Amino acid sequence: MKKTIRSSTAVFISIMRSRFAKSIVLLLSFSLIGECTLAQIVRGPLVLSSPNTTGDHGSDTRVTLSPGFRSTAPFSAFIQQIVSPSQSMNYVLTYSPRVPVTDLSTLPLSTTANVNKSIAYFDGLGRPVQTVDVQASPTQRDLVQPKSYDQFDRESTTYLPYSVLPTVSSDGSFKTTAIADEASFYASPSNVSTWNAPGVVSTGYPFETTGFEVSPLNRATEQGSYGDSWQLTGTSGDPHAGHTAKIAYASNNAANLTSGTGFWAKNYGVNYVYTVDGNYLYKNTLSDLGSYPANTLYVRVTKNQNWSSSQTNLKWNTVEEYRDKSQQLILKRTYNYNTSTSQTEISSTYYVYDDYGNLTYVLPTGATPDDGVTQADLDTWCYQYRYDGRNRLIGKKSPSKGWELTLYNKLDQVVATQDSVQRTKSPQEWTIIKYDGVGRSILSGIYQYAGSVPGTDYRLTLQNLVDAQTNQWETPTTSGNGYSATTWPTSWSSTLYLNYYDNYVNNPVLPYTYSSGSTMTRGLQTASKTSILSSATDALWTQNYYDDQNRINKSFQQHYLGGIVSVNNYDEITDRYDFTGNVLSSTRKQYSNGTGNVLTLNVTVRDSFKYDHIGRKTKSFMQVDAGVNVLLANYIYNEVGQSYLKKLHSEDGGSNFIETVTSSYNPRGWMAETSSANFDEKLYFDTPSGAITGAVGTFTGAIAEAWYNSANVANKGFSYLYDNSNRLISSKYYQGTNYIGNLDETINYDPSGNILSLQRGNNGALPYVYSGTFNYSSYTGNQLNTVSNNGSAYRSFAYDANGNTTSSGSYSFDYNLLNLPNHAMQNGTAFNTYVYDSYGNKLRKISALSGTTDYISGIQYKNGVIDFIATDEGRYVNNGAPSYQYDLKDHLGNIRVVIQKKTATSATNIQDQEYYAFGLNVTNYDNSSNNKYLYNGKEIQDESNLNQYDYGARFYDPVIARWTSPDLLSDDYDSVSPYGYAENNPVLNTDPYGLWTQTYSGWTTNDPDEIQDFYNYLKYTHDRNVHVSDGQDGSGEDNEAFRLFGASRTHDYIFIFYNRNNQAAAKRNVEHAKATMAGGSAFAMTAMADTKGPFVEVGAFIGSVAFILTADAALNDLVKHHSDQFSPQDIQLPLPSRQEALRRAKDHAQVSRKTGQDLPMDVTRPSSRGRNWEEMKARGANKVGRQDTIGGNFWRDDPDGHPDSLEDGIPDYHKYPHIHSTNRQGEERVFPYDNN
């Protein structure tokens, strides 16, 4: 059989063999386009004797060059083992081609570099017992993932993967002593005479174990993890064991909450108020129903890894979750010992539903809901939701904000939204959205309701106008903006964006032409036009051209250099891919409108990349104009796929480098140390260093100590203490064993996480006003009113109706419709003016103090001249003598040291930075780099000593450790203050764009639904080649640890799925994420539009990938909200019913997990749109959260399951009944259920 395979994202070939069946089943999906010859291996000796021999020639034993042989370039000869599955075992052999295939019979003899091979072995019961990734390690050894089962058929122990001995055959055969070999591998991985695996952590416990209750329910009661401290309680021979997550099950009662067995819960209900016509369930009121009768709620108690049976109060370090018989979350409760008051604080958050199951109220702890809630409490502290008669969310009120209103058309598409600020205008404004016939958003704009009175609620009036409208979508035209205007409203005051699909001919005349793109563009976005918010007329075009695999290979992107729109102001970007979708090169030419309106080429930047035999990125190059093609970084991986060496800056192809960064990890995959000649960081978790008397180890993933070394910071470190909610309460500064104290911070919080006091040491270089004791003396709800410093008045604050800070001491701010600052002023005079596009991308900063800065996707201009170009590892600086500067970062992505070339083999330290725990910048030791991207890699706004960081979605003030605006996604963090930074643990957590919190080592969860989902995922789909990783490598690059990690903060489980074959296929989006971040803007659709389709290309790798994560800030933010399939969890629970699975699926797909409503795709800002947002839109989705029969998994029930298949290039292998669900961020999750 001779076929051609030309699209790796649509190919998998699985050969399934069973000793119980004589037949071989071949599954094949391919496209017949083009041909290519594979390098082949022959069995047995190979003799070459011909003249002018070319090509690749391999043998599994010996290659002989006989007389008469003569080679002509290109030629190579090699010896490589041939895959040889164990015939005594059941197995599935999967081939994943990395080059086009013309003949399927050549696959077994193809080299690993051409065809990746993976073998899943099964026992006689059909259980997966071992997975072997053939020659997948960096040294081309087999990577083995063992499995085992207990007597009750539970996979109670999970093992880390390992690579086989160099002396053992790497042919994919079944490893009969895999579990013993895995233990030996991790006992001494660096032993050069045996395993020879440098960079792999040594541990006697390379496995994690789950403990179960003795009952048919098989519920987990204890969850361990890798490393000795996290083994199950009572583990023989391990004196450090027992620091595990423990789970207890109970029901509610009437006992006192402070007792160890008290599980009392207050009962709230909803009263309804209908409108006159009775059609809209418009308003509701909260009713107090006393308390829940005993034994009417299920209670799940999760005790984190710091919990101890000997602690004073057994409720500390626990999370209680109360659910009713429908499994609706009713109450979440935590307990914290406040060291300032010596009291135990009980923090309860209640969830109240109407009779239709819609979440109607969330009552956070600030409202003291255990004691009852008043209307004033509701308006100040609580989340309130209103629905119409069709259960559509029509009104939402968040703490610190006014009501947000929504209008729908007859197709249940959101057609308009209004926030509180828009309602105060005259006339009132609404943000409108229009759709085409297949539900794709084609336009957004601002509609002004003539005759409206500021502050009046016109939602019902306008809804009636929408309902009376006959037309529900717009159609393409060849005039005007390219679309009809027949849906409500037929006219509007300004347009925010326009999107065009399917072709290039029915749009308005496009400014740029390209004739070599694919014609197969139906369903793809071909162009867009984005408005400049500060201008009534200015807008920027983006045009995308594709190859036949729907990958963008040419794009034209207008920019706003000089504050003008010109056809001559644009970037032309050309991308080249390999067969698997990895970007091989990306060439960017930036043009501008020169003197006399002449097209001028400003700069050409060419990025290129190399990968190893399974797709790990190994080299990153950059060339500016005709300069040297600099090898920015060479990435070296250990045997289990972690990047442990990174070599920086070579101008001779890799012979010499100026710096080498080494990373090491603990058994759980958390970065333990990063070291180089110019910067070292060492982190301590469960075991303190011993240098500090009284230091306390932590087991939840929180950091106990952090030590640093650089040219100016010698052997300095911090010791950290946390409360029972894992909030930082003390940061003490040391040099060696000597306590210094001048970078100390001591913090006290209220139950909502609002800071009550912050005491900060003074390092001598810090202005006095920033040090000493801050007392946060007055709050209204979560909004801070006044702060005093050292007993004197320091600042007072004011806010607008959307919760944005409008004044902070002598500073004042005004905001645009995206709640981003237009102006920063001091004493009424503007010193910074910001310019954004309608997606929130920051385009310009015009400063009266520092000049004008233009941000163009990673190329930054200062007063019209290129200042720097962002690179993978730092920046290319245009300072008269252009140079490459490299950022050496700590675990949070904070810039600690900046270096540049000194000689071919050494570097000069040009910036050395220190920070307080909450990010306040200490005067650096040298700033010859003039780098303003500092804490978390964010740009500091230091004009007029403002000293706030721009995170994209909002600004952060490190002086008072609070955001200047509430969280746009505060629904997902409803138990804590929407102004609090990183859940008050800035040592462990970051907030990549001011939208969500994540730990430096991954995204964590303690959500029972997610825990359930992950078990279902493992149980019903883990018989595929799935690897699990924390994705945290400390180097800023993709990691393939293939691991399952747990425990961080109060959350007890953290799991990051990772696709080893196609990790680099994300390169294109990663580059644009970095560029956007460097530009200081929110992660916007401009980044998403550059690569159609999934962020992580699953491609041919069956059963892989849900999350990808690295220590690089530009990648980290993509994790939680830009993942593919399945959220994490690890506790084994039975499958839910279909009703419960459907509830969870809808819950996941809706506005948030708690609002219970569908969300139109265009309602959220681009910064909260996920990686599939463009793909979903292109496939015809008009909203996430409803049964979608047009196309796309937004929620879809598959009651019969479906076999292994390929759907739109993404493997779908769920053979059990399940429901697909995609939420507003583009996260897809699958909810299996029991159909019996």
Give residue 959's pLDDT: 94
Confidence of residue 1017 (pLDDT cuts 50, 70, 90): very low
- How far is Cα 825 from Cα 565, in angstroms, rounded to an integer? 27
pLDDT at residue 32 is higher than 50: no
Confidence of residue 791 (pLDDT cuts 50, 70, 90): confident
Give residue 1188's pLDDT: 38
Let me know the angle formed at the C-alpha of 803 by 797 and 804, rounded to the nearest 5 degrees. 65
Confidence of residue 714 (pLDDT cuts 50, 70, 90): confident
Among 449-458, 621-630, 691-700, which is the least confidently predicted range? 691-700
Residue 248 lies in a domain: yes
Task: Reply yes or no: is the peptide bond before residue 97 cis, omega within 30 of 0.
Answer: no
DSSP 699-725: SSS--SEEEEEESS--SEEEEEEE-TT
DSSP state of 147: B
Let me know the angle formed at the C-alpha of 348 by 345 and 349, rounded to the nearest 5 degrees. 150
First-residue to last-residue Cα distance in the chain: 43
DSSP state of 153: S
Confidence of residue 1119 (pLDDT cuts 50, 70, 90): very low
> Which residue in the block uniquely carries the two structure tokens 């502290």?
381
The predicted-structure confidence for 181-197, as pLDDT tens digits, reads as follows 999 999 999 999 999 99
Give residue 1063's pLDDT: 30
pLDDT at residue 1029 is higher than 60: no
pLDDT at residue 110 is higher than 60: yes
Give residue 99's pLDDT: 92
Closest CA to 95 of 1061, 1067, 1094: 1061
Model's pTM, two decimal places? 0.82
Q: Is 943 exposed, middle or buried (0-12, 13-18, 19+ CB in 10 A)?
A: middle
Residue 897 lies in a domain: yes
Residue 501 lies in a domain: no
Cβ atoms of residues 1214 and 1205 within 8 Å: no
Give residue 1232's pLDDT: 72
Confidence of residue 67 (pLDDT cuts 50, 70, 90): confident
Give residue 1201's pLDDT: 65
pLDDT at residue 49 is higher than 70: yes
Domain end: 940, 970, 999, which one? Answer: 999
pLDDT at residue 1044 is higher than 50: no
Give residue 39's pLDDT: 62
Cβ atoms of residues 982 and 968 within 8 Å: no
Residue 174 lies in a domain: no
Per-residue CA distances from 728 to 357, 684, 716, 990 (Å): 37, 16, 19, 13
pLDDT at residue 1107 is higher than 50: no
Domain end: 369, 387, 405, which one? Answer: 387
pLDDT at residue 500 is higher than 90: yes
The predicted-structure confidence for 246-256, as pLDDT tens digits, reads as follows 999 999 999 88
Residue 264 lies in a domain: yes
pLDDT, mean of residues 811-816: 98
Closest CA to 932 of 891, 1013, 877, 857: 877
pLDDT at residue 75 is higher than 90: no
pLDDT, mean of residues 877-906: 94
Confidence of residue 274 (pLDDT cuts 50, 70, 90): low
Q: Which two tokens stand for residue 334?
A: 């935590």
The domain tally of the chain equals 3
Count Cα atoms within 13 angstroms, Cβ side, for 1215: 9
- How far is Cα 1185 from Cα 1160, in angstroms, rounded to an integer? 8
pLDDT at residue 922 is higher than 70: yes
Q: What percent of the chain has pLDDT over 70?
A: 77
Give residue 1147's pLDDT: 60
Among 49-58, 86-95, 691-700, which is the least confidently predicted range? 49-58
pLDDT at residue 908 is higher than 90: yes
Four-point Cα dihedral 1079, 1084, 1090, 1096, nearest 10: 110
Q: H or E stretch including 1222?
A: strand 1218-1222
Among 79-88, 363-372, 509-518, which is the least confidently predicted range? 79-88
Domain end: 387, 419, 438, which one? Answer: 387
The predicted-structure confidence for 1062-1096, as pLDDT tens digits, reads as follows 233 233 232 322 222 222 222 222 222 222 222 22
Give me the sign of the Cα torsion angle 169, 171, 175, 178.
positive
Residue 1065 lies in a domain: no
Give residue 953's pLDDT: 94
pLDDT at residue 72 is higher than 90: no
Give residue 389's pLDDT: 82
The predicted-structure confidence for 721-767, as pLDDT tens digits, reads as follows 999 999 999 999 999 999 999 899 999 999 999 999 999 988 766 55
Give residue 521's pLDDT: 94
The predicted-structure confidence for 553-591, as pLDDT tens digits, reads as follows 999 999 999 999 999 999 999 999 999 999 999 999 999
Mean pLDDT of the chain: 81
Residue 803 lies in a domain: yes
Cβ atoms of residues 63 and 57 within 8 Å: yes
Q: Which two tokens stand for residue 36?
A: 């290519």
At position 36, the amino acid (one-letter code) is C
Range of the domain at 795: 617-999
Largest interatomic CA distance in the chain? 100
Cβ atoms of residues 210 and 224 within 8 Å: yes
Phi-psi category of residue 472: left, alpha or beta, with phi > 0 → left and psi -120 to 50 → alpha: alpha
The predicted-structure confidence for 416-451, as pLDDT tens digits, reads as follows 999 999 999 999 999 999 999 999 999 999 999 999
pLDDT, mean of residues 755-781: 82
Closest CA to 206 of 164, 146, 268, 277: 146
